[in-house]
Amino acid sequence: MQNQNKSLTKGLSILRLIMMSQKPLTANYLCQTLDIDKSTMSRLITTLINENFIEYKENSKEIVLSDFMKSATQKESREKILTNTQNLLDEIFYLTNEAAYIGVFDDDALLILNQVDKSNRVLKTRDSVGLHLPLHTNAFGKIILAFSDIEISSLELKKYTYRTLTSITKLQKELDLIRERGYAIGNEEHEYGLKSLAVPYFNANNQFLGAIGISGLAIRLEEETLHSFGQKIFMITNK
């Protein structure tokens, strides 16, 4: 029974590490990180695969969550994010009078998970819930790049406007600045006339979950306004 409990603990530690990683892991990496010998690791990985918790990515040696686990964990975590950020989105909207959003990483892109816009404007921001956007073209995606372990060298830096960052060097420099000041700005990089502002969103265990902030017309969101909102939203999100 004691040996079974030890095996279960090791198996769960493997699963936990794979779940927390933003990229595929190898058996060698798991062995070194968790201090588990190769034969034991091989046996535990085989068991987790047979039980449909993990799988090898395509025909490689890289290990990822199975589709079943991805679906189950994403649904639970996203429902929690929606519940935990609803009041925060309301607060951000009333602070800025701009549409507030929460976005997460999904399928190599930014997924808009929720949106709050209670303004009385005749022309309002379109409903963007469920929309996927390239990570390098907006404040929310830049936050995800800055606070996760995604390899930016693997990104396709497609040009959408003349402001779009298409240089790895320039993008890396901006991500360094974002980490330093705590917020990101999107300056008409995906669509002319629209700007965005986002800060990182962490859970109670300081685990990075996504980006939260605003998007609106460039004519209203001048540079000074965006920097002011960035500092204020960062403070209320991390209080």
Fold for the domain defined by 73-237: Beta-Lactamase (3.30.450)
- CATH topology identical between 2-65 and 73-237: no
Backbone angles phi, psi at 121, to 5 degrees: -65, 145
40-86 pLDDT tens trace? 999 999 999 998 898 998 888 899 988 878 766 666 588 888 999 99
Q: Which of 26-30, 151-155, 161-165 has the lowest mean pLDDT?
A: 151-155
pLDDT at 102: 96
81: alpha, beta or left? (left if phi > 0; alpha if psi -120 to 50): alpha
All residues at 6 or more sequence positions from 237 whose CB lies less than 8 Å from its CB, including other chains: 88, 199, 200, 201, 212
Which amino acid appears at position 177 of this protein?
A: L
pLDDT, mean of residues 162-184 = 96
Helix (H), strand (E) counts: the chain: 7, 8
CA 213-215-216 angle, to 5 degrees, is 145
The β-bridge relationship of strands 208-217 and 54-56 is unpaired
- Identify the band that residue 1 occupies on the pLDDT scale cut at 50, 70 and 90: very low
Q: Where does 2-65 sit in CATH, by number?
A: 1.10.10.10
Return the domain boundaries, the chain: 2-65, 73-237
What's the mean pLDDT when you consider all of the chain? 90
Name the pTM for this structure: 0.72
